[in-house]
């Protein structure tokens, strides 16, 4: 005879084991950690600090460079003293002068994409401006001379040579009062009464020409002797 009570007891034990032993309790959720975010914040702060230092270094470098920025640093000495420095010559800067800027625009329109044609046009325009160098000479006697030089058949000649007296002067400009006749090899038919010169810095002068506009010259230390 089947023992019904024993079978029922074993069946209940099996069911209890299946429901209780087969399902492990769910692990408790781990608390979120803030370490990765803290590391990211630290790295971001380092990058910002490095960028700020680089920007500061760049600004300091530009501030310390007398020729950096927009080139409006004032001359370090009075204009009359600066332009008559010994062995100092000023080389004509055709490209950045009014006449050169106008020539580049005109030649680019005419030549288009033909670089050789544009270059030839610019060379021709440059040849029409009879000046290579200028000097402002102060002789031991106290006389002052404005001398321009032009290249002719391979030789550098004194194109214009006109005496002047220093006139009105500010920190950044000077007026030269021109005197007498032009004693150069290509004398002007009519010598202007004044020559206006601006000095944006120690390395550049701008001569106001009544016909050609602003003419820029770059300062160079030469080997020419006083005339």
Contact yes or no for 82/75 (Cβ under 8 A) = yes
CA triple 132-135-136, angle to 5 deg: 155
What percent of the chain clears pLDDT 70, i.e. is strictly above it?
A: 65
Mean pLDDT, rounded, of the chain:
76
Rounded distance, CA 226 to CA 137, Å? 7
Q: Cα angle vertex 152, ends 165, 140, to 5°?
A: 30
Q: Which residue has the higher pLDDT, 220 or 67?
A: 220
In 3-state terms, the chain is what percent helix, strand and coil (to 5)?
35, 30, 35
Token digits for 109? 């329109």
> What mean pLDDT is predicted for residues 204-211?
91
Q: How confident is the model at residue 77 (pLDDT cuts 50, 70, 90)?
A: confident
Residues, the chain, total? 227
**pLDDT confidence of residue 184:** 95
Q: Which residue has the higher pLDDT, 60 or 89?
A: 89
Convert the pLDDT of each residue in 157-168 to its tens digit: 999 999 999 999
Q: What is the pTM of this model?
A: 0.65
pLDDT digits (tens, 9 = 90+) for 16-49: 443 444 444 444 445 444 444 444 454 554 455 4
């Amino acid at each position: 005879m089947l023992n019904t009570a024993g079978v029922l007891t074993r069946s209940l034990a099996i069911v209890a084991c299946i429901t209780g032993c087969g399902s492990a309790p769910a692990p408790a959720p781990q608390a979120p950690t803030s370490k990765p975010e803290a590391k990211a914040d630290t790295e971001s702060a380092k990058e910002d600090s490095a960028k700020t230092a680089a920007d500061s270094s760049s600004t300091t470098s530009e501030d310390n460079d007398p020729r950096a920025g927009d080139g409006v640093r004032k001359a370090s000495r009075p204009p009359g003293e600066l332009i008559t420095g010994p062995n100092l010559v000023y080389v004509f800067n055709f490209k950045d002068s009014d006449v050169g800027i106008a020539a580049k625009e005109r030649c680019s329109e005419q030549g288009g994409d033909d670089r050789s044609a544009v270059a030839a046009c610019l060379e021709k325009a440059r040849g029409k401006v009879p000046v290579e160098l200028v000097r402002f000479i102060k002789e031991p006697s106290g006389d002052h001379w404005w001398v321009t030089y032009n290249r002719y058949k391979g030789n550098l000649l004194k194109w214009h040579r006109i005496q002047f007296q220093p006139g009105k002067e500010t920190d950044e400009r000077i007026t030269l009062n021109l005197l007498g006749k032009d004693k150069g090899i290509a004398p002007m038919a009519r010598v202007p009464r004044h020559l206006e010169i601006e000095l944006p810095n120690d390395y550049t002068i701008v001569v106001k020409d009544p016909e050609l506009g602003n003419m820029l010259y770059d300062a160079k230390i030469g080997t020419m002797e006083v005339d």
